Amino acid sequence: MSEGKKGTRYNQQPPPPPYGTFQGVVNHPPPTAIGFPQPVPPPGISGGPHPPPPQFYAHGYQTVPGYAVAEGRPVREARLPCCGIGFGWFLFIIGFFTVGIPWYLAALLLVCSRLDPREKPGYVASTIAAVIATIAVIFGVTSMDN
């Protein structure tokens, strides 16, 4: 009887090596992570080896911590002034016709007031135009052509 057990143990085939590029030596044991928690089955598993998965998502909404889920009707933002393009872009366009004075006004508003985030690109464009116009005027006045 003891020889039968020994015979079955020695007659078993070794498992096939794992597939992959870095397989290591066949007789070396697989590496184990020391210091890391080992995986465990989730709580609530009972019965056979694997219960059937639920047919629905049982946890409801999964939000990012710190952010609330907004429910209800969506909030509609008010329309931008000046035909819907915003006051910043309006000042940018008008600045080409009025010698750039609205660009300086837009730069002052950008620096000194609280703005709607949807209008900031127009104010920034006007500020850049004001800086470029100032540089052009400085180089135009100080040119050496007499």
CA dihedral 124, 126, 127, 129 (to 10 degrees): 120
Query: According to the model, what pLDDT value does residue 125 have?
Result: 95
Cβ contacts of residue 109 below 8 Å, gap of 6+?
A: 88, 115, 123
Q: What is the mean pLDDT of residues 111-135?
A: 92
Which of the pair, 15 or 134, is modelled with greater confidence?
134
Domain range list for the chain: 89-141
Cα dihedral sign for 83, 89, 91, 97? negative
Q: How far apart are CA 54 and CA 42, in angstroms?
A: 14
pLDDT at 49 over 80: no
**Average pLDDT in the 36-61 region?**
60
The predicted pLDDT at position 107 comes to 93
Residue range 13-48, pLDDT digits in tens: 777 666 666 656 666 666 666 666 666 666 666 655
**Confidence (pLDDT) at 81:** 80
Tokens, residue 144 = 């050496």
Closest CA to 20 of 31, 12, 10, 11: 31
* Confidence check: pLDDT of 115 > 70: yes
Which residue has 């600045």 as its token pair?
95
